[in-house]
Structure 1
Amino acid sequence: MLKYARAERVSLYHYLNVFYKARKLGQTEEYKENEEESGKEYEKITRKMFVLENILRQRLGYVPHRITDDYLARYLEEMKKGKHKPMIIRQKRRDEVKSGS
């Protein structure tokens, strides 16, 4: 979802910029409404993107810079691999095992 939110945000920023430049070049206010609407949508998607990033930060401990299909495949593989380890519960502390007590 974050991948799509980032792509949508880039697209909205592009539209916002185009309407701003068109309004400035034409020296008219006819594009102002479109610019404001794009700005509102940009802010809305930015807020949603931040929510998604915060969820990832809580669960992964970081926010990936780029989310690709390869990244997702590796992450899924790591999740599967981690589930097949046996659970080992130590009976003694490590320092006791080393000293031979």
Structure 2
Amino acid sequence: MEKESYYLIVLLRLVRDERKSAFNLLRIINKGDAAQPEIAALQAGQSEGAKNYKYWTRKAWIIENILRDRAGYYPAKITEGLLSGILEQVQ
């Protein structure tokens, strides 16, 4: 709550990247589990991947809610142009 909005936007970008990576890994594990459902390691990986994905999803929601409370919105897509525009406005 004490961090600057620019910092939170950059952090949101990183959290969304981690969430996307966790989702892709979970998707791959789910495909493997569908092909070989009797392998216990895949089931353990599936539950761990689901926990990881939920963790990053909740962190993204927290940051989005803070940004929405401050500015009334949060960016759907965070690009370099958006970040440079914010820095220009600050300066």
TM range (shorter): 0.7 to 0.9
Q: How many residue pairs end up in the alignment?
A: 80
Instruction: Give the match for residue 61 of structure 1.
Output: 72
Would you say 1:4 and 2:10 are equivalent positions? no
Unpaired stretches in structure 2, ≥5 consecutive residues: 1-10
Q: TM-score, normalised by structure 1?
A: 0.74
Runs of 4+ aligned residues of structure 1 deviating over 4 Å after TM superposition are none
Structure with greater contact order relative to length (CA < 8 Å, sep ≥ 6): 2
Q: TM-score, normalised by structure 2?
A: 0.81
Tell me the percent identity. Answer: 34
Q: Name the structure with the higher helix share.
A: 2
State the alpha-carbon separation in 2 of the partners of residues 51 and 68 from structure 1. Answer: 20
Amino acid in structure 2 at the alignment position of 1:39: A
CA RMSD of aligned residues (A): 1.1
Question: Which of the numbers 25, 36, 48 marks the counterpart of 1:37?
Answer: 48
CA shift, 1:41, in A, is 0.8
Would you say 1:28 and 2:38 are equivalent positions? yes
Would you say 1:49 and 2:60 are equivalent positions? yes
Residue by residue over 1:11-64, the C-alpha shift from the partner in whole angstroms, topping out at 9 and shown as x without a partner, is: 100111111110111232320000100100110111111000011111121111
